Structure 1
Amino acid sequence: MGRADARRAQAQEARRAAKSGGIRRLFTWKKLLGTFFGMILLGMGAFGALYLYVDVPAPNALAERQSNVYQYSDGTLLARSNSGVNRQIVDLAQVPKEVQHAFVAAENKTFYKDDGIDLKGTTRGLINTLSGKGKQGGSTITQQYVKNYYLTQDPTISRKLQELVISLKVDQKQSKGQILAGYINTAYYGRGASGIQAAAQAYYGIDAKDLNVSQGAYLASLLQAPSQYDWATATDTGKRLVKDRWAYTLKNMVEMDWLSEAERAKQEFPVPDKPKPAKGMEGQTGYLVEAVNKELDKQGISAEDREAGGWTFTLTVDKKRQQQLEKSVEKELESKLDREGSKVDATVQAGATSVDPKTGKVVALYGGEDYVKHYISNATRQDYQPASTFKPLVLAAALENESKTQDGSLIGLNTVYDGTSKRPVVGSDTPFSPQNEDDRSYGPISVQKAMNSSVNSVFAQMIVDVTPAATKRTALALGVPDKNFPERPAVTLGTMNASTWDMAGVYATLDNHGRKVTPHILQSAEHRDRTVKPEAPKREQAISRASADTVTSALTGVVKSGSGSAANTSAYRAAGKTGTSEENKSAWFAGYTPELTTVVALFGEGDGGRKQVSLTGTANSGRANGGGFPARIWADYTLGALGGGSDARFDLQDVERGEVPAPPTPSKTPSEEPTPSEKPSPSEKPSETPSETPSETPTTPSAPPTITPPTTPPTSPELPPQPGESDGQPGERPGGGGLLGE
């Protein structure tokens, strides 16, 4: 190497040395530490500013959204409203303590001691976010609650920083119990279930309050990966992982002294139930929910209130009786129809309402074949005529008003009228001469027998004797709606409009000795923020007990030896009335026992509900009268609803305006003697015995039998009802009847 090269090398070495010394002078330990602490101070200052800047926001809309729960009277689930979120928020007190501990053990063992954040986990989460690995675990329960309740699920740095600040503030402002409740109520568990209550139902078919520690540990384990850990759909790997996490959760509970070693050893993995479709509006559910919603509107709980969710609506409906009513309609009607192959059968619609006559509670309701196929509720629709189920109300009005016949005699069960078919009424400005069923003339006939056989001409004259206006007043007092209610003699044949719901209230009032019964289906409405108690229906005396009991006595005869004989049985005591409207467009049976009032109706519906059509030919059985399908449905349902029968008797204290003596007590051996609760009261009637015409023998000498003078001579003498001739007999001739069926 020459001298020149040596000089250049020395110069380069000198420059390197100078540069190295400059870097060392620039990055001394003091300067590095100063920079580090400066950055820390800068970060703390920035975080402090962020802490002051970021407030705890209002909850996000999704976090507070809940479904409304509709349940039977016994608390079992009927339906959940479709609000987009399957959630029902529950208080922490409703979650067993060991289940609460399972969530803490699975997610955040230091939850009860920490300040709401995990700096190590949060830092790891930020690094993973920056490196593109997505959101990672490590957050505390408080942080997860804040993310679910106040923020979003977006894996961004800004959201993570907000989460950190808000978590600190929430931990200072809220108790650990509030935070834990918020967490378990907002978390998503899979199967469409948000919140622990929905999850308990989705996986185990029980309420959160009934979860045990193993089930709680499984639900807590689910939160790490809901779709992967759902036992019903999990792969073998998923099942192994969720079992490991379940065991990890229980192990942590032992470590935290929340579970003893002995208790842990007893735990078995709780395999969840198979997934079930969400409860929808199919079948009768939609009709029941619709009926409740209508009542909620009247109670001040509007559609807007319901839209917010979080309500639990308890119905008065008895689950077993509801199921029985559905079975009875299927057995006695639907199984016999050919809806696909018969044009007549395709038009048949059934409806029914069953009421407790003492309280007015609707215990069962049948709205139609299927709510999703037929949205009009046949139980509450008011576009059909109740037909001859109105005739007992004409009698009630006559008794209530102490009305007299044209010759001045008081009207009672033994009053004799002219039963000639097409007989013109006497004493009316409006001409009316209705035809009897099958155009049959009965001649002189008592009111009791006229009720048994639903003789149109008798009740046409009776309403004239009472006056249509007075009859309307009584009918409205009993519960018939003031809708299309003409004050003319023809109204005696039920030519106004009413629903099975309406008529169930009317007949329940008769059953309740004239004390008004208003059907209602809402038992309670509860929300976390408020509870609404339904306004109690008025229970005033609609008509006198004497009038109501006399009508009941008459209607027992209809069941025992008249058009309602399909409902006659020794299993219970019953009163009822058949009805078939003009041109056979509807057929009814309204009846009651001392414990239950039920009205069943068939409607002929064509053109998508825009047209009323005849029921004649239903199931190839000729004329569909009230004593046929409706009475048979009523009888089958009532037998099942009463648990196979009942010994209860009608307590009829005043029939034909006189006291009725107690029936003779049959001799019994001591072992057969009834208990005091089973013994009949002294006021029970002879009409409860198997007598064919229980009310035709006057109990008082109040009025001798009278005959309203006919304007035309009778065409035939009174004859006993024959099968196939009086309305409602199963063997009735196809197509029989005149302008009005009965």
Structure 2
Amino acid sequence: MQTVTRKKRKRFRKIRLIWRLLLLSLIVIALGIILLLSYTRMQGPPPIDAVQTTQFLAADGTVMGKEEAGQNRFSLPLTEMSPYLLQATIAIEDRKFYSHYGFDLKRIGGALLANLQSGSKAQGASTITQQYARNLYLSHEKTYMRKWNELLYALRLEMNFSKDEILAGYLNTVYYGHGAYGVEAAAQHFFGKSAKDVSLAEAAMLAGIPKGPSYYSPLNDLEKAKSRQELILDSMVGEGMIEEAEADKAKAEKLVFADEADKEEEEIAPYFQDHVKALLHNEAQMDEAAVDTGGLIIETTLDPALQQQAEDLVEKHMPDNGLQVALIAMDPRNGEVKALVGGTDYNESSYNRATQAMRNPGSTIKPFLYYAALENGFTPVSTFLSEATSFSYDDGREDYAPSNYNDIYANDFITMLEAIAYSDNIYAMKTHLSIGTDELVNVSEKLGLGTFENRPSLALGAQPVTVLDIANAYAALADGGKQREPVFIRQVRDGEGNKVYEQKPPVRQVLREDTAFVLTDMLRGVFEPALNSYTSVTGASVAAQLTHPTAGKSGSTPRDSWMVGYTPQLVTAVWVGFDKDKDINQSVEGQISKRIWADFMEAAMANELKLPFKEPPGVEAVDIDPHTGLLTSDACPNGRTTYFLAGTAPVNTCAEPEAAEDLQEEPETKDPGFFKRFFKWFSIEDGDPSDPSGPTILDEGEESPATE
């Protein structure tokens, strides 16, 4: 009896020991779990930023380029994904996703048992949360240490983010093969559509790929991919996500995959995109990594149709001899740049000649000289004698003897209207020295052309500017004296759709509206062959092409050829020249800028209204004889309607000879003392009128019939 009692006591002690050990184990496990959860909680939310593809969008919303950093990624919220994609992914990857806490003990146990039986680590039991953690932070090596770290990250994700946030993160980072990360990149790659537009059949096909991106890719093995798609559809039926009839219909659907050629998106306007990235770095303070891998949506101002026109015309007109080109087209009403060409071939040279190259503007600077003159008492009919002239300045210590193109002079008095149309250098120099050389300096600085040196040759464009700056200066003339900084970026949004940058420069009234309008009216004369007299207007060769009210000015130096012009809706500047110190052939290469400009303007304005330049208060229009500057009459009909600042129009008619003689006098100078010191000229009867020691500036002439 005592022996039985001892056995019972001994057995009871063993059971009690086992229970104590079990209880202690449970306490240790509980403490471990508490410590684990406390540790992961203390770690806070892990970083979930992944490399994302940045997209550059044109003004119409089309993709014009991407920055992928080697990976094609896009970030979408769940609301922008097809519900079928969410359901299919959960059905095949993690059916208990919305009920577990980042890991599934049953799946882990089953995987461990299978691995022990097989002696390998082939079986995995990762939940969507664990896979997301692995995609963000870990490698894909099959080790227990990696699985442990994966578990820790999964717990941190679950503690700090909602299930929907985790699911969205997973779907935006999982790899689908062929360089596509995330459902949006995958949907675009396989089906050429957004993730929000995929059908049930397409969603099930996509959901099957991450298991083995190369193995289950329908582009690599359609049979295997189709088999997995059907498995997923059956799983969706089993989970009550879809009806069996829907699954059968999806299985029978013939999938149409995107053409590989269609997926090769040609990057357009690379020079434009480079400038946008430079703006984001310099103005928005975004570093290169943020732009390249930040998943940004950069909405630009580029018009794809106009950009294509510009590139086609460059290819059509530019010779293959190293000659380079730059083109800027912008809307003067809002400053938006619509097209930009920075060279003949971006692949050969990424140097942006539209925004980086500093070139002498030649006669394209003259409109700003004449604006200053109008502000200092000149009118469109103010006259100067056009003849070979040497100018003495600096108290007679220096001489400067520019010449007209091909040494063509009126040898008579001409009006400012004619001087602009013919681009007479002598008239420009006399104007410059008469009003004071600081006047052009001041106007140029107002327009953002830079700080110019106060010297006589400035009137003929002897100080370099960029194509972008000269285009923006002309935009002020086109928009009634108002100016903005050129706009390339409408807005930048991050992957969540939040606006992070907007280029919205203030509007400044830099020129008087009435004076700018009078100047614009004179610049229209550049394209009016009716003004031809002792020579042709400089825009005669392209005048017949222009169907809209257009103003402009050409310009040239030995190494540069320019054409800048505008309508109320569009300003375009074109430069042609060599990168290095090499002169251009003026009779051939010097005319290319005009041809590109005229062809581009007409293509760009083809569907635009023929709007007149808006007439502001403070101006008056009269019909004048452009050669004498007097009002027309029966004795001299067929004049030109010309605008003047109010109160400055001529009052005599061309039937009064004495009135014409009165006009043929040099306008009074703003400062007679300054005039006497710095402005005197004399006719040169013999010899070369140019000064070899001074800057050489050509005037842009008209092509001869032989070169047309």
Q: How far apart are 1:490 and its partner, in Å?
A: 0.5
Matched AA of 2:619: G
Task: Check whether the contact 1:427–1:465 (CA below 8 A) recurs between aligned residues.
Answer: no
- Contact 1:421–1:441, Cα closer than 8 Å, also in 2: yes
* Counterpart for residue 636 of structure 1: 599
What is the aligned partner in structure 1 of residue 534 from structure 2?
A: none
Q: What is the 5 A alignment of 1:278-677?
A: 284-303=269-288, 305-306=290-291, 309-333=294-318, 337-338=319-320, 345-346=321-322, 348-400=323-375, 402=376, 410-424=377-391, 431-443=399-411, 444-482=413-451, 485-528=452-495, 531-534=499-502, 536-561=504-529, 562-568=537-543, 569-581=545-557, 583=558, 585-605=559-579, 611-616=580-585, 622-625=587-590, 628-644=591-607, 646-653=609-616, 658-660=619-621
In structure 2, distance between residues paired with 1:38 and 1:271: 63
In the alignment, what sits opposite 2:704?
Answer: 731
Note closer, same or farther for the CA distance 1:87–1:511 as it changes in structure 2 (3 Å cut): same
Change (3 A) 1:604 1:166: closer
Where in structure 2 are there 5+ consecutive unaligned residues? 1-10, 530-536, 624-637, 651-661, 668-679, 687-697
- Amino acid paired to 2:126: S
CA-CA distance at 1:277 after TM superposition: 9.9
Q: Partners in 1 of 2:98 and 2:468 — Cα distance?
A: 56
How far is 1:461 from its partner?
0.9
Deviation at 1:313, TM superposition (A): 1.7
Aligned mates of 1:240, 1:192 — CA distance in 2: 22
Contact 2:332 2:479 in 1 (8 A): yes
Write the distance in 2 (CA, Å) between the matches of 1:694 and 1:176.
74
**How far apart, in 2, do the equivalents of 1:652 and 1:224 lie?**
69
The aligned counterpart of 1:22 is none
Instruction: Give matches, 1:21-420, under 5 Å.
Output: 42=25, 45=28, 49=32, 52-53=35-36, 55=40, 64-126=50-112, 131=118, 133-164=120-151, 166-168=153-155, 170-232=157-219, 234=220, 238-261=221-244, 263-264=246-247, 266-267=249-250, 268-275=253-260, 284-303=269-288, 305-306=290-291, 309-333=294-318, 337-338=319-320, 345-346=321-322, 348-400=323-375, 402=376, 410-420=377-387
Do the aligned partners of 2:552 and 2:566 also contact (CA within 8 Å) in 1?
yes
Alignment match, 2:629: none
Contact kept, 8 Å, 1:433 with 1:457, in 2: the verdict is no
SS in 1 for 2:181: coil
SS of the aligned residue for 2:491 comes to: strand
Once superposed, what is the RMSD of the aligned Cα atoms?
A: 3.7
Counterpart AA for 2:564: A
How far apart are residue 103 of structure 1 and its match?
1.9
State the alpha-carbon separation in 1 of the partners of residues 50 and 461 from structure 2. 51
Paired AA for residue 118 in structure 1: D
Pair 467,302 (structure 1): closer, same or farther in 2 beyond 3 Å: farther
User: Mean alpha-carbon deviation: is it higher for 447-456 or for 251-260?
Assistant: 251-260
Please report how far the alpha carbon of residue 604 of structure 1 lies from its aligned counterpart in structure 2 after TM superposition: 0.9
2 CA distance for matches of 1:698 and 1:445? 20
- 1:553 CA drift (Å): 0.7
Q: In structure 2, what residue type is equivalent to 1:326?
A: E
CA contact (8 A) 1:284 1:367 kept: no
Task: Report the CA distance between 1:439 and its aligned residue.
Answer: 1.2
Describe the superposition over 1:686-731 as per-residue Cα deviations: whole angstroms up to 9, x where unpaired.
xxxxx89553999965457344399445979xxxxxxxx9835343
Instruction: Tell me the percent identity.
Output: 27
Partner amino acid, structure 2, of 1:421: A
Is 2:52–2:68's contact at 8 Å kept on the other side of the alignment?
A: no
Aligned-partner Cα distance in 2 for 1:225–1:728: 69
Distance 1:298 1:281 in 2: 28
Amino acid aligned to 1:660: A
Instruction: Compare the two structures and name the one with the higher strand fraction.
Output: 2
The separation in 2 between residues aligned to 1:215 and 1:730, in whole angstroms, is: 62
Question: What letter is aligned with 1:574?
Answer: T
**8 Å Cα contact 1:149-1:182 kept in structure 2:** no
Secondary structure of residue in 2 paired with 1:321: helix
Letter in 2 for 1:497: P
| Post-superposition offset of 1:471 | 1.1
User: Could you state the TM-score of these two structures normalised by the residue count of structure 1?
Assistant: 0.76
Structure 2: how far apart are the matches of 1:590 and 1:306?
Answer: 33
> Which has the larger displacement, 65-74 or 450-459?
65-74
Question: Structure 1: 5+ residue runs without aligned partners?
Answer: 1-27, 339-344, 403-409, 606-610, 663-690, 717-724, 735-742
Task: Decide which moves more: 43-52 or 352-361.
Answer: 43-52
**In 2 relative to 1, CA 589–261 (structure 1 residues): closer, same or farther, beyond 3 Å?**
farther
1:370, 1:125 → 2: CA distance?
58
Q: Would the aligned equivalents of 1:604 and 1:612 in 2 still touch at CA under 8 Å?
A: yes
C-alpha contact (below 8 Å) 1:387/1:580 kept by paired residues: yes
Q: Tell me if the contact between 2:361 and 2:461 (Cα under 8 Å) persists in the aligned partners.
A: yes
Distance 1:323 1:260 in 2: 49
C-alpha separation in 1, matches of 2:600 and 2:93: 53
Residues in 1 aligned to 2:389 and 2:47: alpha-carbon distance in whole angstroms: 69
> How much has 1:648 moved relative to structure 2?
1.8
Distance in 2 (CA, whole Å) between partners of 1:194 and 1:602 is: 44
